[in-house]
Amino acid sequence: MIQNANDIAVPTITAYPNFTLHSFQIEAEGFFEYHIFDNFGTELEKGNAVDDALVGVGLPNGLYWIQIKNPTTHKMMRMTKR
């Protein structure tokens, strides 16, 4: 867990690998929800999990935006599948 200047714990959210041939791994502390969008903003996949999730398995090759939210943090990441 990362500590900010006010000593408030900020949960870490990560997604990898970037780029991938198969799927993306999301890691976030506790409960989170995710949404995967194509470059046109169309939602292609969504779900929720606790601590980690394997996502994007059925998606074709392309550029994607993964939005990850938990109760205290929101992150948008650009990911590539080849």
Write out pLDDT tens, residues 2-60.
Answer: 455 555 666 689 999 999 999 999 999 999 999 999 999 999 999 999 999 999 999 99
Kindly tell me if the per-residue pLDDT of 78 is higher than 80. yes
Q: Is the pLDDT score of 73 beyond 80?
A: yes
Average pLDDT over residues 67-81: 95
What CATH number is attached to the domain comprising 32? 2.60.40.1930
What's the confidence (pLDDT) of residue 75? Answer: 95
The predicted model scores a pTM of 0.84
Instruction: Look at residues 17, 9, 15 and name the one whose alpha carbon lies nearest to residue 32.
Output: 15
Tell me which residue range forms the domain holding 72. Answer: 2-81
Using alpha carbons, select from 36, 81, 39 the residue that is nearest to residue 60. 81
User: Domain count of the chain?
Assistant: 1
